[in-house]
Amino acid sequence: MERRVLVLGATSRVGGHFVDHPPKGWTVESAGRTDPRAQGHAVASHTPLDLSQEEAVRSYLRGTTAKAWVNFAARTDVDGCESERPSSPEEAGSSAVAGSAWRINAELPRWIAEEAERAGRFLVHLSTDYVFDGLRGPYPEATPPSPFSDKVGWYGYTKGVGEAAVFSSKGPRTIVRIAHPYGSRAAGRTDLALTLLSKRKEGRVYPLYRDQRITPTWVPDVSDALGPILERGASRIYHVASPEVTTPYEFARTLFAAAGLRTDDLTLTELSGQAKVPGRAPRPVRGGLLVTEIHKLDIRPRSFREGIRELVGPAPVGG
Ligand SMILES: NC(=O)c1ccc[n+]([C@@H]2O[C@H](COP(=O)([O-])OP(=O)(O)OC[C@H]3O[C@@H](n4cnc5c(N)ncnc54)[C@H](OP(=O)(O)O)[C@@H]3O)[C@@H](O)[C@H]2O)c1
C-alpha cells in the first residue's frame, strides 16, 4: 500500500534529491514557497505555503493526512543569517528582531514538532554540524548543540534551537544531521564541490583551509538513509556524513585530481586563529560528524573519496 510522506523544503539541495528518489512504497506531498514541479521534481502534489507564517503552517499541518513529515526547509545562507544575529539569544524571539533565520531554523521546527506530536505523526528533521562550536569534532550523535557564543554562528545557533524543540517533543521524531552536502543537482543551488569546480575552471581557486575538519555528506546517501529511518520510525539522532574526516584543502585536491584538473597551484590557509571578518559567520574548526548510529541500520555513508568518485566518474587514465 502506498504511504504518503510530507516534504517541507522539496526544492532544497538535499530535499530535491529525496523527492526525486523517494523510498519504495512512499509518495511525496510537498508544501512550501516554490513549486518543486517547476524545477523538474516529481512530487504527487504541492501546496503553496510560506513556512515563516505560523498560523498558515499549523493550519496546513492539521489538514494533512501524510503519515510521516520530513523537514528540509531552512535558511542555510550562513553569512546571511549572521547579519540577523542579535546581541543576546533572549532578544532573538522578540518579534521586533525576529529575522528569517530565527523563524525558519528555530521556530518552524517547534511548530512542526508540536503539530506532529498532537497528530501522532513521525517527524524527521534535518540539521547540521554547524550547531557545534567546532572545538572538539568530529562529534558523536548524542552531543547537544553548543550554547550561544562567538564560536557558533547565528545559523548554527538557530538550527540548534530548532533541533532542541524537535528533540524535546514527546512524539516519534528523528534528527538527521549532515555536513557540507555535495552531489545534489538542485536547480540554482551550488555546493562545496560545484563551487570548487567552477572556481578551478575560472582559474580563481581561493586559499584552502588545511586545519578545518569536515565530513562532507554525499547527498544521495541522505535519500538512501531516509527510507530505513521512515520504515522504522525510530526516535533517535542520526548522522549521515563521510566516515573519513578531511579538510577543505584535501577535499579540493582529491576532487581536482579525480576530475583530471590541476592541483599543483593550490594555496593553503588556516581557519583557526583568524581575525573575525565583519559580516562573516564563525565556522567550526574541529567540526564534522561521527556516524556510529547510522551504521546500526546497516547504512554506510560514503567517504568523501567515494562520493567524489561517484560525482566525477572514474579517474582519468594515467591520472
Ligand atoms: N547547505 C548546507 O551546507 C547544509 C549543511 C548541513 C546541513 N544542512 C541542512 O540540511 C537541510 C537542507 O539544506 P539545503 O542546503 O538542502 O537547503 P537549501 O538548498 O538552502 O533550501 C532551503 C529550502 O527551504 C525552503 N524555505 C526557506 N524559507 C522558506 C519559507 N519562508 N517558506 C517556504 N520555504 C522556505 C526553500 O524554499 P525556496 O525554494 O522557496 O527558497 C528551500 O526548499 C537544512 O536543514 C539545512 O540546515 C545544510
Inside any domain, residue 230: yes
Residue 216 has pLDDT above 50, yes or no: yes
Among 12, 53, 155, 190, residue to substitute to test ligand 1 (most atoms within 8 Å of Cβ): 12
What is the predicted pLDDT for the residue at 316? 55
Q: In this predicted model, what pLDDT tens digit does every residue of 249-287 receive, in sequence order?
A: 999 999 999 999 999 999 999 999 787 888 899 999 999
Closest CA to 155 of 283, 277, 241: 283
Residue 156 has pLDDT above 80, yes or no: yes
CATH of the domain at 158: 3.40.50.720
Distance 61 CA to ligand 1 centre (A): 19
Inside any domain, residue 197: no
What are 50's three cell numbers?
Answer: 510560506
Inside any domain, residue 251: no
Confidence of residue 97 (pLDDT cuts 50, 70, 90): low
Query: For a pLDDT cut of 70, what percent of the chain falls above it?
Result: 96
Q: Is residue 131 a contact partner of residue 167, using CB atoms and an 8 Å limit?
A: no
Inside any domain, residue 311: no
Residue 187 has pLDDT above 90, yes or no: no
Q: By alpha-carbon position, which residue is closest to atom 7 of ligand 1?
A: 128
Q: By alpha-carbon position, which residue is closest to atom 30 of ligand 1?
A: 51
pTM: 0.96
Q: By alpha-carbon position, which residue is closest to atom 8 of ligand 1?
A: 128
Q: How many domains does the chain have?
A: 1
Inside any domain, residue 235: yes
Inside any domain, residue 280: no
Inside any domain, residue 319: no
Inside any domain, residue 203: no
Mean pLDDT for the stretch of residues 31-39: 97
Q: Residue 51: give the domain boundaries.
A: 3-189+217-243+289-302
278 SS3 class: coil
